[in-house]
Structure 1
Amino acid sequence: MNEGNIHIGATTPPSVAKLYQNQFEKDFSRFLQMRCMEIVPGGRMVLTVAGRKSKDVFNAGGTTTIFDLLSQGLRILVAEGRVAKEKLDSFNIPVYCPSADELTQLVQQCELLDISDIQLFEMDENRMHDSEQAEGTTAAHTAGQSMSATLRVATESLVASHFGEDILEEIFTVFARNFTSYIESEVEKSGITIITLYLQAKH
Structure 2
Amino acid sequence: MEKKKLNNFNMPVYMPSTHEVKTIIMRSKLFIINQIQLSESNWDPYDDDLEGEVVLYPAQSGLNVARSLRPVLRRLFTTYFGESVQDVLFLRIASNVSKYLDKRKGKHNVIALSLARTYGDGVL
Does TM, scored on the shorter chain, surpass 0.5? yes
Q: Which residue, 93, 104, 107 being the options, matches 1:191?
A: 107
Distance 2:70 2:106 in 1: 21
- Give a deviation string over 1:89-145, Cα, whole Å, max 9, x none: 24425x532111111111111112111111011112256559xxxxxxx82111111
Distance 2:117 2:57 in 1: 46
Conserved 8 A contact 1:115-1:200: yes
Conserved 8 A contact 1:128-1:139: no
Structure 2: state its 5+ residue gaps. Answer: 49-55, 120-124
Structure 1: state its 5+ residue gaps. Answer: 1-81, 131-137
TM score, norm. by length of structure 2:
0.77
TM score, norm. by length of structure 1:
0.49
Q: Aligned runs of 1:114-129 on 2, under 5 Å?
A: 114-126=32-44, 129=47
- Give a deviation string over 1:158-179, Cα, whole Å, max 9, x none: 0000011111111111111111
Q: Between Structure 1 and Structure 2, which shows a larger proportion of strand residues? A: 2
Identity of aligned residues (%): 25
| Superposed CA RMSD | 2.2
- Give a deviation string over 1:13-41, Cα, whole Å, max 9, x none: xxxxxxxxxxxxxxxxxxxxxxxxxxxxx
Conserved 8 A contact 1:116-1:198: yes
Task: State the aligned residue count.
Answer: 112
